[in-house]
């Protein structure tokens, strides 16, 4: 050891040298640098981060590269710094990463008010707004966590190192969005999550990119308010109608992925059925009557009344509740023929038969009555 000390006859401030830790105290470390006295590394010069005890950073026998901070020749005292050497290297490395927009990993050492502190050779700071793409209320789970970051801002004179994990998350999100956009094709059926509801439809997240389901594509029946059909957070199936990759616009349909009102219509509506309906539209050749949600049938003008009429408006009006008889069901062409006239004829026939029956009963009872009276005179 003494031979090593004799090798170094002079120590100058600012120079860099190598030493071996020979003693670790709470607030300082003694280092053999081959000089006539051991060098001292105060705890404040061990790390760029807050350190409780020197033993948290170094141990006896460790080889350290140190910078001479101060030389007191009267007392032969040499004050050394470990963090100064690391800082010089760190700044060079950080400047290179900043220029190259390089991604790298770092460990969160402290959670402080306003963000996260990391060790990148110097003290680095990730502001709360640059941690994630979303709001984080409690950062306690980030302590000792390794994050991938980029240098957002660098100022050596101010000793300021601002890092961003959010930039990485945004890049990944953009890459994922582009991947989805490039793989989307018309006719694909996917599952998405309702993100936002507007007056004209809903935006659905497809896993990194949003598409629009226009209100007309939400259901087979007419929809006044999208919120009547879906809520934010709902998982729904959608079909891709069109993809505009340049403008990142995706048109979707929920309606096309769910059974339509005409599905299995022949199992629900048969010829001869009498059903209630609502007049939806009047045209010169008849009236369209909705008999189930989204299912309209035609009452031809010749089937509207049990008499000749010039226009459907003479008998019917839009919104009117009517009872109709099913004449024919064509599921393939989604057409149903209806009649009001047949019900009127059947009702008239029924009333006439009832009248005849009542007449027969009245005649019989009258004869019986007259017969009884005549018998009294016999």
Residues 279-295 pLDDT 10s: 999 999 999 999 998 89
% of the chain surpassing 70 pLDDT: 92
Residue pointed to by tokens 């709902």? 234
Alpha-carbon gap, residue 144 to 137, rounded angstroms: 18
Residue 144, class by beta-carbon neighbours within 10 Å (0-12 exposed, 13-18 middle, 19+ buried)?
exposed
Bridge partners of 375? Answer: none
CB 330 within 8 A of CB 295: no
- Least confident span in 79-93, 96-110, 246-260, 341-355: 341-355
- Least confident span in 12-16, 64-68, 94-98, 162-166: 12-16
207: region left, alpha or beta (phi > 0 left; psi from -120 to 50 alpha): left
**What pLDDT digit, counting tens, does each position of 42-59 carry?**
998 888 777 889 888 899
Residue 365's pLDDT is 52
Query: How far is it between the farthest Cα atoms of the chain?
Result: 168
Residue 220's pLDDT is 84
More confident residue, 64 or 260: 64
**What pLDDT digit, counting tens, does each position of 71-100 carry?**
887 777 899 999 888 888 889 999 999 999
Domain annotation for the chain: domains and CATH numbers: 2-81 (2.40.50.140), 86-170 (2.40.50.140), 185-257 (2.40.50.140), 265-343 (2.40.50.140)
Residue pointed to by tokens 């008499």? 307
- For the residues of 233-253, what is the DSSP string, one character each? T-EEEEEEEEEETTTTEEEEE
Residue 6's pLDDT is 47
Residue pointed to by tokens 């890459």? 175
**What pLDDT digit, counting tens, does each position of 296-340 carry?**
999 999 999 989 999 999 999 999 999 999 999 998 899 999 999
Highest mean pLDDT among 5-19, 323-337, 363-377 belongs to 323-337
CB 251 within 8 A of CB 318: no
Is pLDDT at 368 greater than 80 in this prediction?
no
CB 258 within 8 A of CB 321: no
């Amino acid at each position: 050891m003494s031979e090593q000390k004799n090798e170094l006859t002079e120590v100058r401030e600012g120079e860099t040298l190598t030493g071996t830790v020979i003693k670790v105290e709470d607030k300082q470390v003694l280092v053999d640098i081959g000089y006539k006295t051991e060098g001292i590394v105060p705890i404040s010069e061990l790390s760029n981060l807050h350190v409780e005890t020197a033993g948290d950073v170094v141990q006896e026998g460790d080889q350290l590269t140190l910078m001479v901070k101060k030389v007191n020749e009267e007392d032969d005292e040499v004050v050394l710094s470990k963090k100064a050497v690391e800082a010089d290297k760190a700044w060079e490395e950080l400047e290179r990463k900043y220029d190259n927009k390089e991604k790298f990993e770092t460990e969160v050492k402290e959670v402080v008010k306003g963000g996260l502190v990391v060790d990148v050779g110097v003290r680095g700071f990730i502001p709360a707004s640059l941690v994630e793409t979303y709001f984080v209320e409690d950062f306690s789970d980030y302590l000792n966590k390794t994050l991938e970051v980029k240098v957002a801002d660098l100022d050596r004179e101010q000793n300021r190192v601002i890092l961003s994990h959010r930039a990485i998350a945004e890049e990944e999100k953009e890459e994922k969005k582009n991947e989805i956009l490039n793989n989307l094709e018309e006719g694909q059926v996917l599952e998405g999550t309702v993100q936002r509801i507007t007056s004209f439809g809903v935006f659905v997240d497809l896993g990194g990119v949003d598409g629009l389901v226009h209100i007309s594509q939400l259901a087979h029946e007419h929809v006044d308010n999208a919120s009547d059909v879906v809520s934010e957070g709902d998982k729904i199936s959608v079909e891709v109608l069109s993809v505009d990759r340049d403008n990142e616009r995706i048109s979707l349909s929920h309606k096309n992925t769910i059974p339509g009102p005409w599905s299995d219509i022949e199992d629900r509506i048969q010829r001869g059925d009498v059903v209630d309906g609502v007049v939806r539209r009047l045209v010169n050749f008849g009236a369209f009557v909705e008999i189930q949600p989204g299912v309209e049938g035609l009452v031809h003008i010749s089937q509207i009344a049990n008499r000749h009429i010039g226009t459907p408006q003479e008998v019917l009006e839009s919104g009117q509740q009517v009872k109709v008889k099913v004449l024919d069901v064509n599921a393939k062409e989604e057409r149903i023929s209806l009649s009001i006239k047949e019900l009127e004829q059947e009702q008239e026939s029924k009333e006439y038969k009832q009248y005849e029956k009542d007449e027969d009963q009245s005649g019989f009872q009258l004869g019986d009555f007259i017969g009884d009276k005549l018998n009294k005179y016999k």
